[in-house]
Structure 1
Amino acid sequence: MIKRKVNDMWDLFISHASEDKETVVKQLADTLKKYGLKVWYDEFELKIGDSLSRSIDRGLAGSTFGIIILSKAFFEKGWTDYELRSLLSREVSKRDKIILPVWHGIKAEDVLHYSPYLADKFALSTDMGIDELAYKIMETVKPDVINSIGIQKMFRKLLPYSELKEIEPDHIYMEEKVRHKTLPNYFVIATKLICDVLGDITDMDYRDVLYDFARDADYDHEFLIWNAIACSYISFIRDNKIDFSDLDIKRDIFSFLLGYTTGAVKDIEDWQQRHPKLAKEQYYELMIRYAQNHDFIMEYSSDSMKYTYGKILEQV
């Protein structure tokens, strides 16, 4: 994975022909910005009187990645050919994966005719849709942001019942490679317990969840979060004597915990107004309960089993 350098002002630079701006480039750039990426393309950075070539040089010099929207219009633009050669030169000299080609309305033979080098590189296509295209780009540019597959998948499961509309990644189709061929045995047992705890408000099978963990870059961290969510969920219901048959309240509890862990819950008062079945004080209690459970799990998971066992015995 490429590490971003301190002098890189942008995460990526989009090389494109102006004819493709409205059909694909602007939508893609806006979607990537919603993910928190710093994106350079002429609508964002070029001002009246700026030198196009100088601005392009600045973008190429200050970006970690370059996205190239390859289209028929792109192939006809001399200045975009200059951008391409600059990106090629940079990739070859640094031996980094700098270029991310995206095909737009073209076929393999069109790319081969223009650049045999690019034709040999794996490319994405705008045919998959802007949301999925942005997600695939994020996998390369910001894998740390996009690796929480299980939580995002659960958000999509809850969409029919929830008002979480601000989280764009919820609508993105995911197809991720399996990063871990095996998982610890305790992982399987604990995952089934978590799914059983949440079983009446979700239809997630523990085998599907295990598959999601296997695709996560850091499954240990994700596993600890899910343990904290499950502990907070069931203990809050028990201690507050929530009616187990009230699925709407239980979904609100679960949605809040998911939103809190991902940063989607920014204002508890606003959340409570949209989910009034619980009082504001109860949502604060949920937040504190999750933080305590998370800290407890993190503390014990960081020690050896022998040391942890001894610490638990001391508290009995």
Structure 2
Amino acid sequence: MLPKHDLFISHASEDKDDFVRPLANALERLELDVWYDEFSVTFGDSVSASIDAGLKDSRYGVLVLSRNFLSKRWPEYEYRSLIALEDGKQKRIIPIWHNVTRDELLAYSPYLADKVAILSAGKEPLSVALEVMRIAVPEKFTELVRRHAAQQASKDLPSMELRKISKWPFMWGPLKQSELRRLRLVREILAEVFPQTWEDLVSDFRRDMPSAREGEIQIWERLAGIYAVISRKYSLTKGQKQSLFAELMRESLAIPVSPDSKNPEWILRAVEDYRESLPDGGE
């Protein structure tokens, strides 16, 4: 059974107004399904019971660790329950340190202090939300990067309230030489309609999780291949090429082509070719 939500947020009730609600709103603007009202922990609540309940219906649990959160008394079995939730191969808890130091966490729980965490200090809620998104739903994060790239080429695509991706603070390791060669070819084919610099293109792919890169490169290769074939076959003008690229990007983002009987043959052909090129044949 698939989870109902992308993630839930377990937090101290005192942190809801100043941090948790703005974070949840930012995650929802990024089109994530967030569940958090039921997981406001007050004095006497079982923290692990709250987390356990959330994980039954969510892919990931976000744990907002603050002084307020740490002030709730956890009996020893609460620690054991939390650790048990993380015993499997798939880590499903994402800690956020909010107005708390490592020393404070270490004194409270070495287990919590040693976990890799997202820091909220000096960051806007949207920045924290992007980091959560990258971990919890990497496929949506990868699609977001592609959508942002597409918006640079076409103003007709639905936009999202985001800062420039170039200012996002996090990247994974460098791309392989074989990946770079493939991307150079894609960039060469799309240069007329997608004049992104080489540095920006590489940076975008470094923001994808390494496990998601291959799939994303394949999507761009399909886009470039179909674009090259259709634009040459129909001798498209520059304006038509831009429309072709925009429609292919819409298709890659699962944004349906408007059911307009006036759509030119080359648009319909490109969309059909793209769907047929998918691993499942578009079914």
- TM-score where L is the length of structure 2: 0.72
Are the structure 2 counterparts of residues 223 and 122 from structure 1 closer, same or farther at C-alpha, using a change threshold of 3 Å? closer
1:145 corresponds to 2:127 = no
Question: How far apart are 1:150 and its partner, in Å?
Answer: 6.4
Contact 2:9–2:36, Cα closer than 8 Å, also in 1 = yes
Which of the residues 196, 212, 223 maps onto 1:204?
196
Distance 1:176 1:21 in 2: 29
Cα distance in structure 1, aligned partners of 2:59 and 2:278: 36
One-letter code aligned to 1:162: K
Instruction: Give the count of matched residue pairs.
Output: 271
Match of 2:157 in 1: 164
Q: In structure 2, what is the equivalent of residue 292 of structure 1?
A: 273
Structure 2: give runs of 5+ residues left out of the alignment: none
1:72 aligns with one of 67, 72, 93? 67
Q: Does 1:281 align with 2:273?
A: no
Cα offsets for 1:97-132 (capped at 9, x unmatched): 233111223333332333332122221122333333
* Superposition pairs of residues 1-316 of structure 1, within 5 angstroms: 6=1, 9-33=4-28, 37-42=32-37, 56=50, 58-78=53-73, 85=79, 88-91=82-85, 93-94=87-88, 96-126=90-120, 127-148=122-143, 151-152=146-147, 154-155=149-150, 157-158=152-153, 162-167=155-160, 173=168, 175-178=170-173, 181-183=176-178, 188=181, 190-206=182-198, 209=201, 216-244=210-238, 246=239, 249-263=240-254, 265-266=255-256, 268=258, 280-282=262-264, 285-292=266-273, 295=276
Letter in 2 for 1:40: W
Counterparts of 2:59 and 2:277 in 1: how far apart (Å)? 38
Query: Are the aligned partners of 1:152 and 1:169 in contact in 2 as well (CA < 8 Å)?
Result: no
CA distances 1:63-107 after superposition (whole Å, capped 9, x unpaired): 44321112232233448x899747624335546523311122333
Alpha-carbon distance in structure 2 between the residues aligned to 1:174 and 1:289: 36
Q: Secondary structure at the match of 2:178?
A: coil
Rg larger in structure: 1
* Aligned residues of 2:66 and 2:97 also touching (Cα < 8 A): yes
State the Cα deviation string for residues 128-178 of structure 1 (Å, max 9, x = none).
3333322322332223333458634523533xx514344467865363313
Indicate conservation of the 8 Å contact 2:13/2:40, yes or no.
no
Query: Relative to structure 1, is the Cα distance of residues 226 and 11 closer, same or farther in structure 2, using a 3 angstrom cutoff?
Result: closer
The answer as to whether partners of 1:16 and 1:25 remain within 8 angstroms in 2 is yes
In structure 1, distance between residues paired with 2:40 and 2:11 = 14
Alignment root-mean-square deviation, CA: 4.1
Contact kept, 8 Å, 2:250 with 2:257, in 1: the verdict is no
Structure 2 counterpart of 1:307: none
Contact persistence 2:10–2:36 (CA under 8 A): yes
- Asked if the contact 1:225–1:294 (Cα under 8 Å) also holds between the matched residues in 2, the reply is no
| Structure 1 alignment gaps of length 5 or more | 1-5, 47-51, 273-278, 300-316
Structure 1 distance, partners of 2:2, 2:228, is 47
Any idea what SS the aligned residue of 1:268 has?
A: coil
- Give CA deviations for 1:166-204 in whole Å, capped at 9, x if unaligned: 4467865363313754426xx71x533332232233332
